[in-house]
Structure 1
């Protein structure tokens, strides 16, 4: 197998699992779950193989794949690349670590499907389709292919939330579809305009054409048009991140989605918004991004403070985690707004760190829910007595989320704020209030659950057991490793950071 074949095999390997599931009777719960989990492993193995390939000092260009796909109009005689859309997959440092995150969380979420109570075959068919879409989004090297994979995610996610979710699952699913559908429509308009004006949707080619004043375009693209396209991109991906006030759909999805899907939603799907802002917003339109950096920083601080304050007054643990996600995504925004290496690196670290921590915390609250049928903070008091192992991991996860040194949350927050303090000290100082609020609401919640007043008899309540340890221990291990050895992320990111800073003129 050549290295160029790795990415298509990785991206489409979940489809093989779907084919196998077609031949298994829907009553065979055990085999359906085994196949569902095993089908996620090829992508996980290949993702780590690519990571160690890069760690060995080899080029990620070895994995690049480009094949003729679609040719629009009669331009082939003029140029083979003009209005041609190739099937292009590739990796850079940023997409590599996102692929590893996606494959890892997908496998652990598949294990978390032990909590699914019905129609396992349909669940895993849609789950594997969702994983394929996520892997495709991060490896696509042209905007049309990116959009196809992006839309592929929406369909299974809608049904997975709407059918296997909790009490208000239908409302959450339709809100998810409505907001993300509007974001997709805006994104499609941007892609079509860029394609019509430049004759290409290749991401690298667009980056060069848009930022080269001497480049020949099919049709002139004015400064105002560039700015308009950039703002549209910010809105499209701002829905996905989410940026306040485009966040309300995400709260319902976090609370109502079933355990495996909320792990993926908080751990990966939100990160597509950050990826789009960095790869397309900052990459293709660096000048426009620089012009509104202060505004982006202010939005980031609003996200941090608003999310933290509302999380502080929540009585439901899931809703608290949902608002916490809003707050933590604000750290991504302030890191990007800093426009320097420390800030951008902190933003990318925060993307990965939050993906791991949120997946861990949502899994742990699901463990509590399976035993107690509640996610109310007051009703979960005293869990250190009834479920000491689960409570201990919850405390560790909470400390990671508030940025305890030695864990991934600390290094990401530190670098993001360090980058912003260098250029916008006043805005950064206001943002640090969010760190204080984060410590308050997380310690209040976690200590209330672990050592608070018990409202139940813990006789018969079972602690973490068996396969439940796999997601918990694995995620905790990665959180600590990144916190202690941040070079596991910074080494693959070196080339990507240099490219971003070069584009920003830094």
Structure 2
């Protein structure tokens, strides 16, 4: 493809950042309009890319490569060794994540109309965050991945610390501390692999690591391979997050502004799952298969621990924060199953949870804007005063439960098919987490929609602009639930390649 589609998708938000430089900071409406409109080109282009992929276009042919820099000379190391290029490309899974990122970014930009101060700085950081997320999922080498990953970290830190709630600074520094540690571990992994193999390109690195002759040549011992995989598990486990690296995420979900939480729960947590697949399963498939049982155990801990804590929370934001910990456990047990069904379920869960959690946190923002609280004990009887908001909360809760006809059912069902196929005992234990999910979700949602109205009353139902994110996110959740081939077809090639590497 001659047109640089992927680079245009990634860099489009940068145009909005540049335009905002010249807009007076007092011009609230124009800044908001530019902030929202700047997310539209990436959304349109990712949707067009998805349609092209479904009509026969080969996504692997969309790769773009530009010489960046190299260490040493070609005479010293050869043409490909110790050379770092600007490389972007997609496969089926990363293309879906690009669509998800652009979609949720636009929905969160609309939700950002509630931001009450310093709109110019907010939207500039917001658009940089979108650029970083898009770049992470399109990067074809580790250095580029790491640079985009750092952009998301820095921009999110400032968005939380400047526009969050009462304990925003604590949440921001907690986010920075944990994710900075994960970044440091990831950088060490990248450095070791680059020094040993002379490349950071995912495709070439995969070939080198799986070629036994080359493997001996670059002196990566089996112990070192396993050590690198464990480091990858920790680095991206912090991001996912895996217990016990989850406490920072609860602070972020309760203290960050709702649009930022929409992006954080919908996209940023999914970078952890994507990294485990991209760095772990694809580069070290045999080693990953050996620790599959450990991954399942970690997933079960996440699933049950998060569900138990969600069950005892009174703050709806904390319920959803611990729910995210629990639902990421489903991703882990799907990956740990190390078969096509489990991996497909994990990938489905990444997309599904991104949509559902974004919708839930959008609705939480709607409630907070009207009442100033998210405490379940202070809310009640919404179905009488604001039936539309109450109905959306109920439908989103049902999606969290994984009822048939919604995206959550497909992802959870497929992941558990994979788990039961490889480890039935773990499957039976995991079912307890699904039962607890039903309890805490129904307790929270029914507690604020039915019963007697409490002292925090909601009088204004969904307004026209709020219909856009809530309606589109709801339709997306239902569309995937009713017609899961929307996801299965693009994922097929990615699944085949990974499972072939594992030996399945």
Check whether the contact 2:344–2:495 (CA below 8 A) recurs between aligned residues: yes
1:297 aligns with: 296
1:472-501, Cα deviation, whole Å (9 max, x unpaired): 000000000000000000001111010011
1:229-250, Cα deviation, whole Å (9 max, x unpaired): 0000000000000000110000
Say yes or no: does 1:79 pair with 2:108: no
Query: Aligned to 1:67, what secondary structure does the other structure show?
Result: strand
Say yes or no: does 1:271 pair with 2:270: yes
CA 1:66–1:4: 2 relative to 1, 3 Å:
farther
CA 1:259–1:76: 2 relative to 1, 3 Å:
farther
- Of 332-341 and 71-80, deviating more is 71-80
**Correspondence list, 1:338-353, <5 A:** 338-353=337-352
2:156 aligns with: 157
Q: CA deviation at 1:219?
A: 3.2
1:313 aligns with: 312
User: Separation in 1 of the partners of 2:137 and 2:217?
Assistant: 28
User: Separation in 1 of the partners of 2:279 and 2:133?
Assistant: 17
Q: CA deviation at 1:378?
A: 1.3
Query: Aligned to 2:282, what secondary structure does the other structure show?
Result: helix
Q: CA deviation at 1:428?
A: 1.0
Say yes or no: does 1:215 pair with 2:221: no
User: Separation in 1 of the partners of 2:157 and 2:434?
Assistant: 33
User: Separation in 2 of the partners of 1:217 and 1:149?
Assistant: 32
1:20 aligns with: 19
User: Separation in 2 of the partners of 1:400 and 1:303?
Assistant: 20
Q: CA deviation at 1:457?
A: 7.3
Check whether the contact 1:304–1:329 (CA below 8 A) recurs between aligned residues: yes
1:382 aligns with: 381
User: Separation in 2 of the partners of 1:63 and 1:322?
Assistant: 37
Query: What residue ranges of structure 1 are gaps of 5+ in the alignment?
Result: none
- Equivalent residue in structure 1 for 2:472, among 464, 474, 478: 474
User: Separation in 1 of the partners of 2:309 and 2:355?
Assistant: 22
CA 1:451–1:332: 2 relative to 1, 3 Å:
same
1:179 aligns with: 178
Q: CA deviation at 1:452?
A: 2.4
After superposition, the CA RMSD in angstroms is 1.1
Q: CA deviation at 1:77?
A: 5.4
Q: CA deviation at 1:211?
A: 1.2
Query: Aligned to 1:438, what secondary structure does the other structure show?
Result: helix
1:432 aligns with: 431
User: Separation in 1 of the partners of 2:348 and 2:255?
Assistant: 28
Q: CA deviation at 1:352?
A: 0.2
Q: CA deviation at 1:453?
A: 2.4
Check whether the contact 1:197–1:217 (CA below 8 A) recurs between aligned residues: no
User: Separation in 1 of the partners of 2:419 and 2:3?
Assistant: 39
2:463 aligns with: 465
Check whether the contact 1:198–1:218 (CA below 8 A) recurs between aligned residues: no
2:192 aligns with: 193
Q: CA deviation at 1:380?
A: 1.2
1:366 aligns with: 365
- Of 136-145 and 59-68, deviating more is 59-68
Q: TM-score, normalised by structure 2?
A: 0.99
Query: Aligned to 1:365, what secondary structure does the other structure show?
Result: helix
Query: Aligned to 1:66, what secondary structure does the other structure show?
Result: strand
User: Separation in 1 of the partners of 2:320 and 2:471?
Assistant: 20
1:137 aligns with: 136
User: Separation in 2 of the partners of 1:396 and 1:78?
Assistant: 59
CA 1:474–1:3: 2 relative to 1, 3 Å:
farther
Check whether the contact 1:4–1:65 (CA below 8 A) recurs between aligned residues: no
1:37-80, Cα deviation, whole Å (9 max, x unpaired): 00001110110111011101220023110111111112455412
User: Separation in 2 of the partners of 1:7 and 1:76?
Assistant: 32
Paired residues, number = 504
1:32 aligns with: 31
User: Separation in 2 of the partners of 1:466 and 1:161?
Assistant: 27
Check whether the contact 2:379–2:456 (CA below 8 A) recurs between aligned residues: no
Query: What residue ranges of structure 2 are gaps of 5+ in the alignment?
Result: none
2:413 aligns with: 414
Query: Aligned to 2:68, what secondary structure does the other structure show?
Result: strand
User: Separation in 2 of the partners of 1:89 and 1:190?
Assistant: 21
2:487 aligns with: 489
Q: TM-score, normalised by structure 1?
A: 0.98
Structure 1's consecutive aligned runs of 4 or more residues displaced over 6 angstroms after TM superposition are none
